[in-house]
């Protein structure tokens, strides 16, 4: 078994445009590490649910957290199957025909199951999630109290299988449409962060910390 890639199984195999599919961990984890919001889905008694949530990755484990009263976290603690998706939109692909408009994107789909993180693991798991969002912030803040930890459920998602799907490049029009006098090309899309806004309730003047100055970026 290849330790650097996920096995192609019926569940994770990209069927539509399979040449865009990727199964190596470097590609899949790279997509995860450049984002901090995922959409997590699961099923209860035949009813599917889908929730956006923050996450953090360490090795082959993905961490999510929330209130101890969270319906999502309560349901997933029993290890039932789940699906997690992370997507980056890199550009709008504007073709000469309406039919061939598309997007350049990178998406990763994770299939797995979750276990509840024990008390002794919680702080480290929460650190991983915070560092995924803003590197260095964990060392700048008051850490969770015992009461706050009790009010928080943290899940570790074990990855059973995964795949990525990526589109790049210009529009792909029908041959006869290339002669049409219509502009075509790609409009790049990228996330951006504005200038930080200081909390008006601040009681002491403080400089903007390094985690904010560095801005979110690729995980180190």
pLDDT in tens, 154-168: 999 999 999 999 999
- pTM for the model stands at 0.91
196: pLDDT strictly greater than 60: yes
pLDDT of residue 175: 97
Convert the chain into a string of H (helix), E (strand) and C (coil): CCCCECCCCCCCCCCCCHHHEECEHHHHHHHHHCCCEEEEEEEECCEEEEEEEECEEECCEEEEEEECCCHHHHHHCCCCCEEEEEEEEEEEEECCCCCCCEEEEEEEEEEEEEEECCHHHHHHHHHHHHHHHCCCCHHHCCCCCHHHHHCEEEEEEEEEEEEEEEECCCCCCCHHHHHCCCCCEEEECCCCCCCCCCCCCCCCCCCCCHHHHHCCCCCC
What is the CATH number assigned to the segment(s) 18-168? 2.30.110.10
pLDDT of residue 1: 60
Domain boundaries, the chain: 18-168
Q: For 94-117, how does the pLDDT look when each residue is reduced to its tens digit (9 = 90+)? A: 999 999 999 999 999 999 999 999
142: pLDDT strictly greater than 70: yes
């Amino acid at each position: 078994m290849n330790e650097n890639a996920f096995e192609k199984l019926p569940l994770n195999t990209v069927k539509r445009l399979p040449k865009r599919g990727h199964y190596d961990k470097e590609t899949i984890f790279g997509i995860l590490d450049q984002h901090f919001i995922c959409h997590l889905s699961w099923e209860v008694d035949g009813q599917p649910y889908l929730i956006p949530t923050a996450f953090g990755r360490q090795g082959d484990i993905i961490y999510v957290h929330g209130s101890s009263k969270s319906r999502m976290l309560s349901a997933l603690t029993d290890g039932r199957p789940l699906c997690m998706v992370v997507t980056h939109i890199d550009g709008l692909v504007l073709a000469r025909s309406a039919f061939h408009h598309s997007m350049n994107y990178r998406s990763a789909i994770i299939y797995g199951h979750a276990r509840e993180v024990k008390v002794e693991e919680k702080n480290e798991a929460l650190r991983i999630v915070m560092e995924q969002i803003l590197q260095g912030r964990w060392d700048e803040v008051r850490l969770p109290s015992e009461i706050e930890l009790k009010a928080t459920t943290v899940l570790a998602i074990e990855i059973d299988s995964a795949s990525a799907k990526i589109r790049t490049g210009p529009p792909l029009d029908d041959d006869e449409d290339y002669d049409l006098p219509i502009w075509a090309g790609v409009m790049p899309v990228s996330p951006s962060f504005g200038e930080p806004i200081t909390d008006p309730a601040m009681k002491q003047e403080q400089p903007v910390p390094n985690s904010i100055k560095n801005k979110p970026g690729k995980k180190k």
